[in-house]
Structure 1
């Protein structure tokens, strides 16, 4: 249990940050799910639209520290490849 005032403040800050990061992660996963569903349905137009909406969300999550930059780039790259394969 935190005893000092600075430790108590740190606990409050961590709780706030965790909530914000959780919301960001959830939002990103929602966008990823929409792309996955569009790919699964086989609609290349819908998949491309969903990917264009998801890419900034994924990169924003990386910028804010929810994901590592390389992880975000890898996710975008793999999704883009799958969407490209769908339209071909």
Structure 2
């Protein structure tokens, strides 16, 4: 266990940061799921609106280091192309 004050502080900081990152990762997964269900419903307008709402959250997750920037870019690109493929 931590013996110094600075080590105890680092433990507290790590716990806070971990909780914050878990919340961000969960939120990221939820918005991806909402876009996926909108795509599966076949309604192009709803799917586009869901993606538009999800993009800032996904980009923020990448900027905060929760997910890699290339991973988020790839996911957004693939969801966008799937939305474009939906027949109007």
Q: TM-score, normalised by structure 2?
A: 0.93
The structure whose RCO (Cα within 8 Å, separation 6+) is larger is 2
Cα deviation 1:51-70 (Å, max 9, x = unaligned): 00111110010011111111
Rounded Cα–Cα distance in structure 2 between residues aligned with 1:57 and 1:87 = 27
Post-superposition shift, 1:87? 3.9
Per the alignment, residue 86 of structure 1 pairs with 86
Per the alignment, residue 3 of structure 1 pairs with 3
Q: Secondary structure at the match of 2:66?
A: coil
Per the alignment, residue 51 of structure 1 pairs with 51
Per the alignment, residue 33 of structure 2 pairs with 33
What count of residue pairs does the alignment treat as equivalent?
88
Structure 2 residue 18 is matched with structure 1 residue 18? yes
Cα deviation 1:18-44 (Å, max 9, x = unaligned): 111111111111111110000111111
Residue segments in structure 2 that go unaligned for 5+ positions in a row: none
Q: What is the aligned-residue RMSD (CA, Å)?
A: 1.1
Post-superposition shift, 1:73? 0.7
Q: Secondary structure at the match of 2:65?
A: coil
Rounded Cα–Cα distance in structure 2 between residues aligned with 1:48 and 1:87 = 13
